[in-house]
Amino acid sequence: MRATLAQDALAVVVMFVIASLGGFLLVRHRQTSQAQHPKVMLDEMRVHVRTGDVLILDARDRSAYAAGHIPTALSFPLAEWKLRAAELNVTLRQHRDRLVVVYCGDSWCGQSEELQLALIDLGHTRVGHFAAGFSAWRDAGLLVALSP
Amino acid sequence: MKSPFDWIARLLRIGIGGIFLYAAFAKLNEARAFTASVVMLQVVPFRWAEWLAAMISLAELLAGAWLIVGWRLRASALAAMLLAAAFAFASGQAMIRELEFNCHCFGITAQPPPAGLVLVRALLLLGLATLLRWLANNIPAAGSQAAARSGAREVERSP
> DSSP string of B23-68?
HHHHHHHTHHHHHHHHHHHTSS-HHHHHHHHHHHHHHHHHHHHHHH
Q: Which one of A5, A21, A27 makes the best mutation probe of the B interface by having the most chain B beta carbons within 10 Å?
A: A27
Burial of A24 (0-12, 13-18, 19+ CB in 10 A): middle
How far away is chain B from the Cα of A113, in angstroms, using its nearest Cα? 8
> DSSP string of A106-129?
STT--HHHHHHHHHHHTT-S-EEE
Rounded to whole angstroms, the Cα distance separating A98 from A100 reads 6
User: pLDDT (tens digit, 9 = 90+) per residue, B114-154?
Assistant: 778 888 999 999 999 999 999 998 876 555 444 444 444 44
User: pLDDT (tens digit, 9 = 90+) per residue, A108-127?
Assistant: 777 888 888 888 877 787 88
User: pLDDT (tens digit, 9 = 90+) per residue, A57-91?
Assistant: 999 988 889 999 999 999 998 878 777 888 888 88
Which chain A positions have a beta carbon within 8 Å of B75's beta carbon? 3, 7-9, 11-12
User: pLDDT (tens digit, 9 = 90+) per residue, B50-76?
Assistant: 899 999 999 999 999 999 999 899 999
Question: H or E stretch including A102?
Answer: strand A99-103
The per-residue b/e assignment along A64-83, b for 16 or more CB within 10 angstroms, e otherwise, is bbeeebbeebebbbbbbbbb
How far away is chain A from the Cα of B119, in angstroms, using its nearest Cα? 18
Are A132 and A42 in contact by the 8 Å Cβ rule? The answer is yes
Q: Give the CA-trace dihedral at A104, A108, A109, A115, to 10 degrees.
A: 70
Q: Which one of A4, A14, A26 makes the best mutation probe of the B interface by having the most chain B beta carbons within 10 Å?
A: A26
Q: Which residues contact B74 (CB under 8 A, 6 or more apart)?
A: A3, A8, B133, B136, B137, B143, B144
Q: Give residue A79's pLDDT.
A: 78
* A-B Cβ pairs (cutoff 8 Å, strict): 115
Q: Tell me, what's the ipTM?
A: 0.80
Q: Looking at the complex, does the CB of residue B81 fall below 8 Å from at least one CB of chain A? A: no
* pTM greater than the 0.90 cutoff: no
* Among B105, B25, B19, residue whose Cα is nearest residue B68: B19
Q: Looking at the complex, does the CB of residue A11 fall below 8 Å from at least one CB of chain B? A: yes
